[in-house]
Amino acid sequence: MSTSTPSRSAFERTLKGACDRLGYSDAMFRLLASAAREIKVDIPILRDNGELAVFTGYRVQHQNARGPYKGGLRYHSSVDIDEVRGLASLMTLKTALVDIPLGGGKGGIECNPRELSPRELERLTRKFVQRIHREIGPETDIMAPDVGTNAQTMGWIYSEYGAIHALQPAVVTGKPLSLGGSPGRDKATGYGVALTIQAYAAHTKTKLEHKTAAIQGFGNVGHHAALCLKEMGVKIVAVSDSRGTIHCKDGIDIDRVMAKKKEFGRFDEMPGYELKEPAAVLELPCDYLIPAALGDAIHAGNAHKVKAAVIVEGANGPCTLDADRILGERKIPIIPDILANAGGVIVSYFEWVQNLQRHGWDLEKVDAELARTLKKAAHAVFEHAEDQKISLREACYDISVMRVKEALDATGF
Ligand code: NAD
Predicted pLDDT of residue 8: 66
> Tens digit of pLDDT for each residue in 166-215?
999 999 999 999 999 999 999 999 999 999 999 999 999 999 999 999 99
Nearest to 278 by CA among 288, 287, 266, 270: 266
> Tens digit of pLDDT for each residue in 246-304?
999 999 999 999 998 888 888 878 888 999 999 999 999 999 999 999 889 999 999 99
Nearest to 352 by CA among 140, 42, 118, 105: 140
At 73, the pLDDT band (50, 70, 90 cuts) reads very high
Predicted pLDDT of residue 1: 42
Predicted pLDDT of residue 347: 98
pTM over 0.75: yes
Nearest atom, ligand 1, residue 220 CA = 26
Q: Which of 70, 94, 106, 235 is catalytic?
A: 106
Averaged pLDDT of the chain: 95
Pocket test for ligand 1, best of 3, 89, 147, 298 (most atoms within 8 A of CB): 147
Spans of all domains in the chain:
21-170, 188-335
Clarify whether 106 is annotated catalytic. Answer: yes
Element (H, E) at 321: helix 321-329
How many Å lie between the centroid of ligand 1 and the Cα of residue 21?
33
Q: Is 180 helix (H, G, I), strand (E, B) or coil?
A: coil
89: Cα separation from own chain's centroid:
12
The CATH superfamily of 188-335 is: NAD(P)-binding Rossmann-like Domain (3.40.50.720)
> Tens digit of pLDDT for each residue in 294-331?
889 999 999 999 999 999 999 999 999 999 999 999 99
DSSP state of 50: S
Q: Is 102 helix (H, G, I), strand (E, B) or coil?
A: coil
Fold of 21-170: Rossmann fold (3.40.50)
> Tens digit of pLDDT for each residue in 353-380?
999 999 999 999 999 999 999 999 999 9
Nearest to 173 by CA among 133, 196, 146, 203: 146
Asked whether 400 lines ligand 1 (CB < 6 A), one says no
C-beta of residue 347 within 8 angstroms of C-beta of residue 316? no
> Tens digit of pLDDT for each residue in 90-144?
999 999 999 999 999 999 999 999 999 999 999 999 999 999 999 999 999 999 9
Q: Reply yes or no on whether the pLDDT at 5 is more than 70.
A: no
d(CA 8, CA 6): 6
Same fold, 21-170 and 188-335: yes
Of the CA atoms within 13 Å of residue 109, those in its CB half-sphere come to: 28
How many Å lie between the centroid of ligand 1 and the Cα of residue 222?
7
Pocket test for ligand 1, best of 150, 191, 220 (most atoms within 8 A of CB): 220
Q: What angle do CA 158, 162, 163 make, to 5 degrees?
A: 120
Nearest to 96 by CA among 317, 413, 408, 387: 408
- Residue that wins the pLDDT comparison between 332 and 7: 332
> Tens digit of pLDDT for each residue in 144-178?
999 899 999 999 999 999 999 999 999 999 999 99
Predicted pLDDT of residue 2: 40
Q: What angle do CA 370, 376, 377 make, to 5 degrees?
A: 90
DSSP state of 338: H
DSSP state of 341: T
C-beta of residue 246 within 8 angstroms of C-beta of residue 223? no
Q: What is the mean pLDDT of residues 392-396?
A: 98
Percent of the chain whose pLDDT exceeds 70: 98
Q: Reply yes or no on whether the pLDDT at 3 is more than 80.
A: no
Predicted pLDDT of residue 262: 85
